[in-house]
Amino acid sequence: MVSYKDLGFVNTRKMFEVAMKNGFAVPAYNFNNMEQLQAIVTACLESQSPVILQVSKGAREYADQTLLRYMGQGAIEMMKRMAKEKGLGEIPIALHLDHGGDFEICKSCIDSGFSSVMIDGSHLSYEENVELTRKVVEYAHKYDVTVEGELGVLAGVEDDVKAEHHTYTKPEEVEDFLKKTGVDSLAIAIGTSHGAYKFKPGQKPEIRLDILHEIEKRIPGFPIVLHGSSSVPQDAVETINKYGGKLKDSIGIPEDQLREAARSAVCKINIDSDGRLVMTAKIREIFATKPEEFDPRKYLGPAREALKQMYIAKNKNVLGSAGQAPAIMALLK
């Protein structure tokens, strides 16, 4: 058993407390490799934002859960050193299991030093979801690890599970779910979806902020999470297609709607696909314009820099988390 506290991570409790009070959302960015991790951590340090590093099932299969945990730990040390060098304050970093599918995987992450886990029982019946989530909360809270549950089903692909249509969260269920499970935050389905194809051309890109507000009214002050919140930057899609890619037309979640959600009870916003698009666009551009290059650092380096700039812009303009790290660090002392 390794405690996340000994590794330098923090759970999400104080992050969400400040996010709720100051009207922003903590970024939850997925990582699978070193370049993504470096981009996330340096962007958040430079913009003084708290950050939740997310590890999905796909990431664990690709890069190995143990290695990712050590990389996260290494990122803490890197952040501390860089903060000193740049004369910046340290930032709070959580290591979070994204879409934990069963009790065993949540336990294994908690035991190996994750500070936060998601138990995703959204595809189960309500009763089964309650039971599974409650069991994870009971275990996690023994170690002060925070737990995210989910009610409602997002359309799109979530690891191996594919849902054709949204099943919006039912506001009348949330109070009972929180009471029975004891979760620390709740992911809801209000029209966001995973992946790069969220709305079809011609479709109005709109999330159901009315459902969010209805939920907020029933559980005031409780941290809400939005998955599937990439905005699908059109310049990245165009660059990918210009240099040989074949992405279909797609529209993501408008950034102004995410900003509005972040000002309300939404305290955590998950973004993965936008990073994939920005990295791929830069790598394709370099392969096409500098065909003589074969050193991975010459294309992964610029891709990492583009990714970092994207995260800084998200923190400043969309989530509103830039500049909020000191308020959280003060509470953690």
Residue 296 makes CB contacts below 8 A (sequence gap 6+) with: none
The question of whether 120 is a catalytic residue gets the answer: no
* Identified binder of ligand 13P from the candidate list 149, 152, 195, 233, rule CB under 6 A: 195
DSSP state, residue 94: E
Instruction: Identify whether the C-beta of residue 183 lies closer than 8 Å to the C-beta of residue 137.
Output: yes
Asked if residue 271 binds ligand 13P (CB under 6 A), the reply is yes
Asked if residue 194 binds ligand G3H (CB under 6 A), the reply is yes
* Identified binder of ligand G3H from the candidate list 184, 272, 274, 285, rule CB under 6 A: 272
Residue 104 makes CB contacts below 8 A (sequence gap 6+) with: none
Residue 9 CB coordination number (10 Å) = 25
Asked if residue 120 binds ligand G3H (CB under 6 A), the reply is no
By beta-carbon proximity to ligand 13P, the closer residue of 152 and 195 is 195
Name the nearest CA neighbour of 270 among 52, 13, 6. Answer: 52
Name the nearest CA neighbour of 239 among 302, 281, 196. Answer: 281
Host H or E run for residue 105: helix 103-111
Asked if residue 227 binds Zn ion (CB under 5 A), the reply is yes
Residue 200 CB coordination number (10 Å) = 11
Q: For the chain, what is the largest distance between any 2 Cα atoms, rounded to a whole number of angstroms?
A: 61
Residue 242 makes CB contacts below 8 A (sequence gap 6+) with: none
Point out which span in 66-74, 83-91, 164-172, 222-230 binds ligand 13P (CB under 6 A).
222-230
Asked if residue 229 binds ligand 13P (CB under 6 A), the reply is yes
* Identified binder of ligand G3H from the candidate list 19, 41, 59, 329, rule CB under 6 A: 59
98, 120, 184, 272: the active-site residue: 98
**Measured from the CB of residue 116, what is the shortest distance to ligand G3H in angstroms?**
15
Between 141 and 180, how does the x/- string for binding to ligand G3H read (CB under 6 A)?
A: -----------------xx---------------------
Name the nearest CA neighbour of 187 among 264, 119, 127, 106. Answer: 119
* Identified binder of ligand G3H from the candidate list 56, 146, 185, 192, rule CB under 6 A: 56
271 binds, among ligand 13P, Zn ion, ligand G3H, none (CB under 5 to 8 A by kind): ligand 13P
Task: Report the SS3 class of residue 193.
Answer: strand
Instruction: Identify whether the C-beta of residue 4 lies closer than 8 Å to the C-beta of residue 115.
Output: yes
Asked if residue 99 binds ligand G3H (CB under 6 A), the reply is yes
Residues that bind ligand G3H (CB under 6 A): 30, 56-59, 98-99, 158-159, 194, 272
Residues that bind ligand 13P (CB under 6 A): 30, 98-99, 194-195, 227-230, 270-274
User: Which residues are designated catalytic?
Assistant: 98
